[in-house]
Amino acid sequence: MADTEKTIKDMVQQAKEKAEPALKKAKEKAEPALKKAKEKAEPALKKAKEKAEPTIKKAREKAEPALKKAKEKAEPAIRETLEKASKATAKTEIFLQFDENEVRMDDIVEKARADYAEKGGNTLAIKRMRIYVKPQDRAAYYVVNHDETGRVYL
């Protein structure tokens, strides 16, 4: 099998070596014809371009009002989308300050979720959680899914 493969590779190499001079000669012969064809085609290409220019210009002029109108209609939607994206990506933190204390609201939410889980609640089943912060009690009261209740200290 290895001998056959070597023989085939040798045959391919020999064919390649024999073909190279012929390819080189063909390329040299084709170059002047290619150059001549380019020279002949150039005026026709230039003429076609010149003929097409007025049509292209008219098409642009006709499309411009529609393009402007589409842009005007799209701008409010684009602006709204950008505002929503900004709200979604903007990091906002809310702090509750009372007496000499300061509590981050996200910490209260985390404490409430942890407390709910400690009491055997499934945090993945939470569809709605309401939290009522009462600084005077130094506590936050929560209600999960309108059913389960609990209290965490601040």
User: What is the domain partition of the chain in residue ranges?
Assistant: 22-90, 95-153
- In whole angstroms, what is the distance from residue 13 CA to residue 25 CA? 19
- Cα maximum dimension of the chain: 98
Contacts of 77 (CB under 8 A, 6+ apart): none
**Position 42: which residue type?**
E
Looking at residue 11, its pLDDT comes to 82
Dihedral sign computed on CA atoms, order 19, 24, 25, 29: positive
Paired tokens of 114 = 């942890």
**Position 111: which residue type?**
K
Looking at residue 115, its pLDDT comes to 96
What pTM did the predictor assign? 0.45
Give strand pairing partners of 129.
Answer: 144
pLDDT tens per residue across span 26-50: 888 888 888 888 888 888 888 888 8
Segment 2-22 shows an average pLDDT of 81
Paired tokens of 113 = 């979720």
